[in-house]
Structure 1
Amino acid sequence: MDDNPGTAVEEAVRRSLALVDTWLRWDDRPKVSEDGDRVYTPHKAVRRIADHLIDHLAEVEAVLAGVGTQPDAWHGSLVTLESDWARFTEVDRDEAHQRLPRLARTFSLRLAAAGPDEWDRPRGDGWTLREIADHLTGVLWYAEQVGDLS
């Protein structure tokens, strides 16, 4: 397969942003995740999408450099920051439209630069680059927790 698996990550971000576009109607009430374990606000969902992309972009860079990955110490979805409760404005939406596609594109371009020979190369106990990309398509889940508020 010669199709860059990173393009699926870009598509997941595009689909997430379609939901983000509806969040200007957010009523300041958090949404409970489908598993019932966490709450999400628009800002938290955008933050988690960005953090997830950053985390796995750093993982890919470490893997390709042949060095260990940085240990995961994110609080992740377990915490809701004070800033996550802020009103979600047009400027916040616009910033998400700038930040998230750039991160997804950087991930996709990094896989393109690594080339198809690297995408499915076994990585010991770690995921292949394709598996990391497949996992990252799950960033849409964060946006789905807030949902379509139109």
Structure 2
Amino acid sequence: MELENVIDAAVEEVLGLAQGWLGWDGRPVVFDGNAWTPHKSLRRVTDHLVDHLAEIMCRLNGLDPLPDHWHGRTVTTHADFARFTETDLEEATSRLTRLALMYRAGLRGLDPAVLDARPDPDTWTLREVVEHVAGVVYYARAMS
């Protein structure tokens, strides 16, 4: 699979899993030491996509990415316990498919040398960042 399409595939899997969350009974699922709800899973997917998209865009444009200050999966908010409805799924579909499109647009046509450049020994290449981001399905699988 071409690199520019791996995020599309991840988002497709996330949204496929999310369809099964309609009618969620309100009880969190405990997975990997954390409480998970449909809204938390989708919030983490979205946050992860946004965070790394910003990193990629900054690096491509010679800007320093912002440091990561997300609370991550260890925090479950009151809003995470809201009912999960068809409208929530539709909103998530719109949001996540647009984020996937932004990745595709940003990665299209990039020279492999740009994708595989390592700014310093402790920094992932852009290819490694995208492959890492495709792991967002973890957050959706936590609810399965």
TM bucket normalised to smaller: over 0.9
Shift of 1:4: 3.9
- Contact preservation (8 Å) 2:11, 2:137: yes
3-state secondary structure, aligned to 1:146? coil
Show the counterpart of 1:40: 36
- Write the letter of the residue equivalent to 2:25: D
Residues 119-146 of structure 1: per-residue CA shift (max 9 Å, x gap): 1122212111110011011100100001
Show the counterpart of 2:94: 98
The within-5 A match list for 1:94-133 is: 94-124=90-120, 125-133=122-130
Show the counterpart of 2:54: 58
- In structure 2, list runs of 5 or more residues that go unmatched: none
TM-score by length of 2: 0.93
Structure 1 runs (4+) greater than 2 angstroms displaced: 113-117
- Contact preservation (8 Å) 1:4, 1:108: no
Shift of 1:113: 4.7
Q: How many residues align?
A: 143
Shift of 1:115: 3.6
Shift of 1:116: 3.0
The percentage of counterpart residues that share the same residue type is 44
TM-score by length of 1: 0.90
Distance 1:56 1:102 in 2: 15
Q: CA RMSD in A?
A: 1.3
Q: Which moved more, 1:49-58 or 1:23-32?
A: 23-32
The partner residue of 2:132 within 116, 135, 140 is: 135
